Structure 1
Amino acid sequence: MTTPSTPENDGSDQGSDHDHELEEYAGGTIQARHGYLPVWLLVVYAVLFIWGLYYAYHYWGGVGPGRIG
């Protein structure tokens, strides 16, 4: 569905209503918009996941605190 051209809406964003759909929660206090994840955030997720695997493998297991080895 396209929006009519008005002074506030010159029609340049026709067809992009889905990209900028705004959802409101708690009576408009919280607003959420569908968007994309920045590449740097995906890199942070990947690094934290790899670190978590390393930590789980290297430091967990064995007899616990004070273990030899």
Structure 2
Amino acid sequence: MTDPRDSAPAGQEIPHHQQTEDYGGGHIKARHGRINAWLLVVYLVLFVWALYYGYTYWGGLGPGLDLTR
């Protein structure tokens, strides 16, 4: 069940202090929100690089799957 204090009435924005959760006695704070666009770009670049690296340095597509026939 949800706590009525956690949800805001329809049409109202939740204040910043209610969007964070504290863990470890206040040493760690977690905020619910969106992932920044630059971080998504970094994830995409790392994924493309991993595919390139895996294909180039680990021997292509695998035994019997070479595309140069």
Q: TM-score, normalised to structure 2's length?
A: 0.60
1:10-29 superposed matches below 5 A = 15-17=12-14, 21-29=19-27
User: 4+ residue stretches of structure 1 with deviation over 6 A?
Assistant: none
Structure 1: runs of 5 or more not aligned: 4-13, 63-69
1:2-13 superposed matches below 5 A = none
Deviations along 1:11-50, one digit per CA (max 9) or x if unpaired, are xxx7222875111110111011111112111111101100
Match of 1:47 in 2: 45
Q: State the structure with more CA Rg.
A: 1
* Aligned-pair identity (%): 52
Q: TM-score, normalised to structure 1's length?
A: 0.60
The SS at the match of 1:27 is coil
RMSD value, Cα: 2.9
The SS at the match of 2:47 is helix
Number of aligned residue pairs: 52
1:33-44 superposed matches below 5 A = 33-44=31-42
